[in-house]
Copies of this chain bind each other. A is one copy, B any other.
Amino acid sequence: MARSLVDLLWRDHPEAPRGGSRGPESRVSTGEVVAAALDLADSGGLAEVTVRRLGAHLGISAMSVYTHVGSRDDLLVLMADAAHAQMDLPAFGRAGWRTRCRRVAEANRAQLLARAWLLDVDDDRTVLGPGTIAKYDHELQAFEGLGLDDVARDAALTLLLDLARSSARVARRRPTTGTNVGAEEWARWGPALGRYLGDAHPLAQRVGGAAGAAMGAASSPDHAWRFALERVLDGLSSLGR
């Protein structure tokens, strides 16, 4: 039947419309469908989440999946919200705003590293879900005491989350090798590229080389991350007077 997306997102809410008890009991629940989809995505990325595979994984036919989710796009929203709900939100304790904000950013980055497929879900309707809203509510509290009005507070949180996303995007490239391009690709194309480049763009060559080497060095894989985060936090601190 496929209830509306909002009803599916809030399916655990007391007031959510339960399915009428008329026909045969469905063999799987929407929650189980979403859980199976999470399994697939966690193991092989979003590309692994096809309606057919999902059905096979659940022991039902491909088309039966549509009894529980409506469409694949809806499913992705349900998955993202479930991931947000399962994410362990950072504890704030009595820490100051800077520490709290850092924890928010770190937690989001960790989540995006663990579930890289979240980077590929780009659907606005995710904000309608209970998991996403609860996460939003909690993370907004990190800015308590910074003296931001509501609009600025939302913008600040968005800034932090976007930063985490960007960092996670970079981090999911070829794991070992630094230069954003894979090692084997670099070995194959580096020489040719060098021939084309010659002495042109010396600044780009120097900085790019240094950045690549730094990322390749085992020392600081997340150096750029720390740098960017502290810079953004510095920027936010300029607001607190």
Contacts and interface: CB of A to CB of B under 8 A. Distances in A.
Contacts of A15: 195-196
Interface in A14-60: 15-16
Nearest to A198: B15
A10 to B, nearest CB: 5
Interface string A100-139: 0000000000000000000000101101101001101100
Nearest to A230: B235
A85 interface: no
A238 B228 contact: no
Chief secondary structure at chain A's binding surface: helix
Contacts of A124: 173, 180-182
A103 to B, nearest CB: 17
Interface in A196-220: 196-197, 201, 203-204, 206-208, 210-211, 214
A128 B193 contact: yes
A152 interface: yes
Interface residues of A, number: 69
A192 B8 CA distance: 12
Given A130-B196, A137-B204, A154-B211, A228 B159 contact: yes
Given A124-B181, A227-B155, A150 B201 contact: no
Contacts of A234: 234-235, 238
A61 interface: no
Interface string A133-176: 11011001100000001111111101100110110011001000
A98 B12 CA distance: 50
Contacts of A72: none
B6 A214 contact: no
Contact of A151 (B181, B201, B214): B214
Closest 10 A-B residue pairs measured CB to CB?
A231-B235, A162-B166, A150-B210, A137-B204, A154-B211, A235-B235, A234-B235, A137-B201, A155-B224, A234-B238
20 contacts: A7-B192, A124-B173, A124-B181, A125-B181, A130-B196, A133-B197, A133-B201, A136-B204, A137-B203, A137-B204, A149-B210, A151-B210, A153-B207, A155-B227, A158-B228, A162-B228, A231-B235, A232-B232, A234-B238, A235-B235
